[in-house]
Each structure stands twice: as C-alpha cells, then as structure tokens.
C-alpha cells in the first residue's frame, strides 16, 4: 500500500492519455458485461433445466403436433411419474414486440410435472372454473400493470378462433404465478387447453410437446428410449430428450449465441491489447530517466518490474470496475427482452479475471524493458 | 580517519560494437570519512565513470571497490541496489525529480524502501526539507520550483535516509552563479556540520573551492601532482 501514491501519481502523469486509454478499456468492459450477461442469461435456462424431466416432441419437428391420446401410453411407461403437455400458442399483447409465452395446459398435470411454478390454490381453482381464465407470470403482470379480474386480449400468430374468425383470443386474468429459482420463467402465462382446443379451426386433439417427469433421473436415457420405442413406426413417432438437451437445441435454433459473443469480445480485446500495450510502452519509454532514478535510489530490478505491472493492473482494474459497474446498472433495462434482472455475479468475476490477464499482457513487455534498464546508460540518455 | 572509499587497481572498459574503450586505468583512490572531494578534469577524463563506481551504479572491469566497508564490486544486482539505498545519496546535474510528485513525496521516495511508518516517513522528509530550507514548499511540484529550489529538494532526497556518502554529479551545472553558491554552501554545511562525506564531480573551479580537497583526472587516471 505504501507504493500506492507513487503508482497513482505515475498513472496520472499524462492525464489526457490516461483518460482516453481508460475510456477505451471502460467501453470494452461495458461491452463485455452486457454481452456476457446476455450470453449467461441465455444459458441460465439451460443451467436451470430440471434433470427429472424429459421433453417429448415429434421426431419430424418441434412444430409437428402430437395426438393427445399419447398421454396415457407415455404415463404407462415404467419409471414415468407424470405427463403434461404444452402447445405453442405464439401469442402477443397488442403489438408483436409484446411477445407473451402463453401456453395452453391441463393445469393439474402441468403443476405435477413442473412444481417450480407456484400458483395459489384458489387461483388454480379459478382457472379450472373459468374457461377463458389466464394465469400470468409475475414479471408480465408488473410490466403491463395488469390486475387479477382484468380482461385482456392476446393475438395468436397460429390459431384462429372459429367463433369470431379472428386470431384475437379474449382472456380473464384469474391469477399470477412465480417460478422458484428462475425469474426469467415468469414471462409466460398458462390457460386452459380446452379453451384453445374447442375454439381453434384446426389441429383439434393435438398437443405441441410432452413434458414427462421421471422417478429416477439416472434412468432418464432408458425411459426416453422406451417412450420413443412405444411410437416407433407409427404416424406420430417421437423424439425424447432431457430438458437440458431440449433447451440447448432450442437455443441453437436462434444461433450460437456463445460463439457470436466470444467472437465479438475476442476482436475487441485483441484490439485493446495493442492499444493499451502501446500506451504502456510509450509511458515507460517516456519515463526511462525516472525509472533509472528509482533504481539509483535503491529500487531493485524486481521492484521496478512489479511497479510497472502494478500500474498496468491499476489502470485495467479501474477501467474494468467502471465498465462492469455500468453494465450492472444498464443490464436491468434488458429485463423485458431476456428476463434476467441482474448481471450474473460470475460475469463480474470473469470480467475481473480478464482485466488481470489484460494488465499482465499489456504490462509485461514494458515491465521487462524497465527491468533490463541499465542505470548509467539511462541517466546518460543512451 | 577511516577510509570510507577505497579503490585499488580499478579499470573500466566499455564495449561499443566491436570496439573496447578503457576509460579508467589501474586507478587507486582513498577517501576518508568526513571528507569533501571535488573531482575535476576535462570532458571524457572518466570523472563520472569513477563517480558511478563509487556510488555503486556501475561495476569495474578490474580491481576492487570498497565503499562503507563493503566490496561492492562483488555484490549481486539486488544486493547492490539495497546497499545504495542504505549508504549513498545521489545528487544530479538536472535534479532528476519525479515531475508528478510534490517536493515532500519526492523526498520520501528513498524512505519507501525502509520499514518506517507513513508518519515517520513524512516526519523525516519534513526534517530533510527543513535542513535545505524548503519546508514551506513541501506541497509544490518540481515545475512550480526554481532550478535552485529543485536542486535543494534533490539534496533533501539524497539526505533523507541518512546515507554514509553523498555522490554529486555536476550539482551546480544547471544553476546560475548565485544559486550555485547557495547550493554549494549547503553541501559545505552538510559536510562541516553534519559530517557527511561528499564526492562531487564538477567542471567549475569555483565550485571545487567549496571542497576540502580537489582531485584532477585526465585520460582515465588521477593526475599525481593534485592527489594529496
């Protein structure tokens, strides 16, 4: 700590240069925080995938419907503890940008296999009683300022209501749900399957996919194979996979987010490496006589090396702290898009590690130059 | 008096490309504790090279260099650095202060290498600045001080760790006559009243008059007639 005032004063020796270098690194770490945050948010749903569940879809495609008659057959497979279904509704509120992941379900079956969804019992009963009932995720309730008892209309991009010939489906909000351990799951809504099935113009008696809970997660692979075997050579062959595999596959359909993020950040930090490295080299070159004086006063080669590295570390850590701090402040603005409220702490920790690596990489050469400096040559200007 | 500096058969050669140039030839020198020696001679005579060897900034090619009881030509780089911190205070022609630090912080620099507390470092630096008459300028940065004041800050920095020896390379070379006389008077006071041993390289005969004795160098050797 006793060297801190010296380091601090050295860092601000050329104020304008230090400010511009700091700003470049701050922007890089802001970008790092935001992109890695988004990346982490996408992976959160994969990380949070339940190991006790399988997702069963049509072997042809996720969008291909399956007959509801399969439920009993899947339930009879040894090792299966529950079966629920879901259907892709493709709903939005007022404008396409207000996407709402509304899912027609049998609420009892669904809560049995997805117990993380928490709904007050009286609201579950209200949903069963109300054909047009809708249970909305807490995040969406807050976002739109909806209240229980309110009537809203959701537009479906797939289903036409045969009673009025439109794609607008009226709903009565009868409750809200939370999702333990993953706030991003609170962006959806559940409604009665029968409401959709009775009113839709096509696809009656079908579901989108099956959600199957298993008694022993170690048996998941065998159970998945048994389910697929059950429907082999039928018109509705299935593809069963763990919830994690399903989520990963779903994410990949949107593009390899991880690759895109790493590629962008790789380019940014590669450029930054040269920028900061050059600044540090220039700074040390200008201070050759001063470093020689430090050595003259009795600072060892090792101490001078550490001082130059510490200066680089100080610069990068300050910039990383500001950049990641800004990312932490701005990240909640993406809540409506990606559903994650706070920048994950692992992003901040990995950002700090990147700052240390950047500091060592950019400070390494200048520190070596300072270490090798010969006092009499440096003082004589050679 | 004890000899604080003892050089025996010291030679120094520099290699520039394929050429090897000997700048000091078989030089013997003894300086007693409490002495104030002015090293004079034409440019290229080897004064600064000799001063660098005495101050432990450079190593001889041949011969022994014993300063403050230590054979410094045998010390490793790190040990030599520690030895310099303990025994030598340096004063340069162009002051060589850290431009971004205040006078006080500049003077405190050598004390960072000691185990003194922050309060003790501050106190010692204030005392050193008081000795050179600049305690009222402690917060000023070098560019806010005159040349003479900067050199006095440099002297305070050289003094603050209470070194055995002060090594000065043209300390008044960048100063006007009046300021130079003030700085030299200060060095003389440090020698006479505080018992500091001083070795000073100078071109200026008037500056050399402040020393107790003058040594003249020419072509890498001490001129015998002027060596007491």
Distance from CA of B101 to the nearest CA of A (A): 7
Contacts of residue B110 in chain A, CB cutoff 8 Å?
297-298
Binary contact (A299, B101; C-beta < 8 A) = no
Q: Report how far residue A303's alpha carbon sits from residue A307's, in angstroms, rounded to the nearest whole number.
A: 6
Eight-class DSSP state of B161: T
Distance from CA of B82 to the nearest CA of A (A): 5
Chain B interface, mutation test: which of A16, A298, A382, most B Cβ atoms within 10 Å? A298
Nearest by CB to A298, from B52, B101, B113: name it.
B113
Q: Report how far residue A240's alpha carbon sits from residue A226's, in angstroms, rounded to the nearest whole number.
A: 9
Binary contact (B100, A13; C-beta < 8 A) = yes
Contacts of residue B113 in chain A, CB cutoff 8 Å?
297-299
Any B CB within 8 A of A296 CB: yes
The tens digit of pLDDT for each residue in A341-367 reads 677 888 889 999 999 999 999 999 999
pLDDT one digit per residue (tens) for chain B, 228 residues: 588 999 999 999 988 788 888 899 999 999 999 999 999 999 889 999 999 999 999 999 999 999 999 999 999 999 999 999 999 999 998 889 999 999 999 999 999 999 999 999 999 999 999 988 898 999 999 999 999 999 999 999 998 999 999 999 989 888 888 889 988 999 999 999 989 999 999 989 999 999 999 999 998 999 876 544
Residue of A nearest to B79 (CA): A300
The mean pLDDT value for A108-128 works out to 94
Contacts of residue B58 in chain A, CB cutoff 8 Å?
375-376
Domain-wise residue ranges, chain A: 4-45+256-379, 50-253
Q: Torsion-angle region of residue B46: left (phi > 0), alpha (psi -120 to 50) or beta? A: left
Chain A interface, mutation test: which of B70, B100, B139, B164, most A Cβ atoms within 10 Å? B100
A338 pLDDT tier (thresholds 50, 70, 90): low
pLDDT at B228: 42
Contacts of residue A294 in chain B, CB cutoff 8 Å?
109
Binary contact (B98, A290; C-beta < 8 A) = yes
* SS3 call for A364: helix
Output b/e per residue, A97-111; b: 16+ Cβ within 10 A: eebbbbbbbbbebbb
Q: C-alpha angle with apex A193: A187 to A198, nearest 5 degrees?
A: 135
Q: Is the pLDDT of residue A265 over 90?
A: no
Binary contact (A298, B96; C-beta < 8 A) = no
Any B CB within 8 A of A376 CB: yes
- Percent over 70 (pLDDT), chain A: 96
Contacts of residue A13 in chain B, CB cutoff 8 Å?
99-100
Q: Report how far residue B110's alpha carbon sits from residue A333's, in angstroms, rounded to the nearest whole number.
A: 51
Binary contact (A300, B52; C-beta < 8 A) = no
pLDDT at B4: 92
First to last CA, chain A: 33
Q: C-alpha angle with apex A88: A84 to A94, nearest 5 degrees?
A: 130
Count the domains in chain B.
1
The parent domain of residue B78 ranges over 3-226
Higher-confidence residue of A51 and A368: namely A368
Q: Report how far residue B117's alpha carbon sits from residue B111's, in angstroms, rounded to the nearest whole number.
A: 9
Q: Report how far residue B130's alpha carbon sits from residue B165's, in angstroms, rounded to the nearest whole number.
A: 20
A30 pLDDT tier (thresholds 50, 70, 90): very high
Binary contact (B78, A298; C-beta < 8 A) = no
Residue of B nearest to A290 (CA): B98
A330 pLDDT tier (thresholds 50, 70, 90): confident
Q: Which of A45-54, A177-186, A197-206 has the lowest mean pLDDT?
A: A45-54
Q: Report how far residue A85's alpha carbon sits from residue A207's, in angstroms, rounded to the nearest whole number.
A: 6
Binary contact (B84, A2; C-beta < 8 A) = no
In degrees rounded to 5, what are phi and psi of residue B182? Answer: -65, -45
A114 pLDDT tier (thresholds 50, 70, 90): very high
Q: Is the pLDDT of residue A71 over 70?
A: yes
Chain A interface, mutation test: which of B98, B104, B114, B121, most A Cβ atoms within 10 Å? B98
Residue of B nearest to A15 (CA): B100
Q: Mean pLDDT, chain A, as a whole number?
A: 89
Any B CB within 8 A of A300 CB: yes
Q: Report how far residue B196's alpha carbon sits from residue B166's, in angstroms, rounded to the nearest whole number.
A: 7
Neighbours of A347 (CB within 10 A): 24
| Contact of B166 with B91, CB cutoff 8 Å | yes
Measured in whole angstroms, how far is the alpha carbon of residue A215 from the centre of its chain?
Answer: 29
Angle between helices A243-253 and A15-47 (to 10 degrees): 130
Binary contact (A13, B81; C-beta < 8 A) = no
Residue of A nearest to B94 (CA): A379
Binary contact (B81, A293; C-beta < 8 A) = no
Query: Could you report the predicted ipTM of this complex, rounded to two decimals?
Result: 0.92
pLDDT at B19: 87
In degrees rounded to 5, what are phi and psi of residue A330? Answer: -80, -25
Binary contact (B84, A298; C-beta < 8 A) = yes
Return the half-sphere exposure (C-beta side, CA atoms, 13 A cut-off) of residue A275.
17
Q: Is the pLDDT of residue A309 over 50?
A: yes
Contacts of residue A379 in chain B, CB cutoff 8 Å?
57, 92, 96
Q: Report how far residue A101's alpha carbon sits from residue A88's, in angstroms, rounded to the nearest whole number.
A: 8
Output b/e per residue, A285-309; b: 16+ Cβ within 10 A: eebbbbbbbbbbbbbbeebbbbbbb
Any B CB within 8 A of A8 CB: no
Q: Is the pLDDT of residue A197 over 70?
A: yes
Domain harbouring B131, CATH code: 3.40.50.300
């Amino acid at each position: 700590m006793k060297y801190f005032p010296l380091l601090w004063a050295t860092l601000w020796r050329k104020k304008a240069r230090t400010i511009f270098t700091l700003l470049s690194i701050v922007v890089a770490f802001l970008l790092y925080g935001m992109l890695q945050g988004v990346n982490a948010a996408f992976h959160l749903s994969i990380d949070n995938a339940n190991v006790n569940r399988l997702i069963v879809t049509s072997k042809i495609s996720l969008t291909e419907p399956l007959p509801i008659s399969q439920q009993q057959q899947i339930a009879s497979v040894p090792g299966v503890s529950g079966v629920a279904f879901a259907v892709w509704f493709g709903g939005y509120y007022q404008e396409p940008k207000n996407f709402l992941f509304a899912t027609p379900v049998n609420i009892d079956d669904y809560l049995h296999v997805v117990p993380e969804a928490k709904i007050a019992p009286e609201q579950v009963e209200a949903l069963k009683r109300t054909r047009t009932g809708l249970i909305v995720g807490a995040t969406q309730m807050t976002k739109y300022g909806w209240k229980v008892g309110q009537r809203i209309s959701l537009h479906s991009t797939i289903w036409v209501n045969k009673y009025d010939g439109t794609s607008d489906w009226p709903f009565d909000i009868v409750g809200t749900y939370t999702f333990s351990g993953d706030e991003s799951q609170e962006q959806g809504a559940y409604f009665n399957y029968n409401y959709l099935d009775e009113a839709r113009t096509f696809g009656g008696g079908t579901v989108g996919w099956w959600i199957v809970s298993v008694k022993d997660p170690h048996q998941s692979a065998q159970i998945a194979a048994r389910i697929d075997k059950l429907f082999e050579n039928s018109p509705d062959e299935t593809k069963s996979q763990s919830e994690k595999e399903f989520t990963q596959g779903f994410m990949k359909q949107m593009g390899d987010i991880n690759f895109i993020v790493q590629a962008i950040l790789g380019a940014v930090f590669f450029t930054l490496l040269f920028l900061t490295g050059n600044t540090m080299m220039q700074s040390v070159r200008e201070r050759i006589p001063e470093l020689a004086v430090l050595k003259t006063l009795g600072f060892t080669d090792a101490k001078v090396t550490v001082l130059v590295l510490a200066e680089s570390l100080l610069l990068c850590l300050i910039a990383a702290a500001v950049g990641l701090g800004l990312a932490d402040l701005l990240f909640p603005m993406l809540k409506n898009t990606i559903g994650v409220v706070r920048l994950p702490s692992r992003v901040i920790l990995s950002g700090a590690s990147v700052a240390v690596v950047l500091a060592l990489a950019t400070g390494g050469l200048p520190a070596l130059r300072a270490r090798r400096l010969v006092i009499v040559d440096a003082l004589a200007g050679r | 008096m004890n000899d604080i500096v003892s050089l025996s058969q010291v030679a120094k050669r520099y290699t520039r490309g394929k050429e090897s140039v000997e700048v000091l030839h078989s030089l013997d020198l003894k300086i007693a504790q409490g002495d104030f020696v002015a090293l004079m001679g034409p440019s290229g005579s080897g004064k600064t090279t000799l001063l660098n060897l005495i101050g432990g900034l450079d190593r001889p090619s041949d011969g022994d260099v014993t300063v403050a009881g230590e054979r410094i030509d045998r010390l490793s780089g790190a040990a030599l650095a520690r030895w310099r911190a303990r025994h030598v205070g340096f004063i340069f022609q162009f002051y060589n202060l850290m431009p971004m630090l205040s006078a006080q912080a500049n003077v405190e620099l050598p004390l960072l290498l000691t185990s003194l507390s922050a309060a003790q470092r501050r106190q010692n630096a204030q005392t050193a600045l008081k000795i050179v008459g600049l305690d009222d300028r402690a917060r000023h940065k070098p560019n806010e001080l005159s040349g003479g004041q900067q050199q006095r800050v440099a002297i305070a920095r050289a003094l603050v760790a209470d070194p055995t020896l002060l090594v000065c390379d043209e300390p008044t070379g960048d100063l006007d006559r009046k300021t130079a006389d003030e700085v030299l008077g200060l060095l003389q006071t440090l020698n006479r009243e505080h018992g500091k041993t001083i070795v000073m390289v100078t071109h200026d005969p008037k500056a050399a008059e402040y020393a107790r004795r003058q040594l003249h160098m020419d072509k890498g050797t001490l001129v015998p007639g002027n060596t007491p």
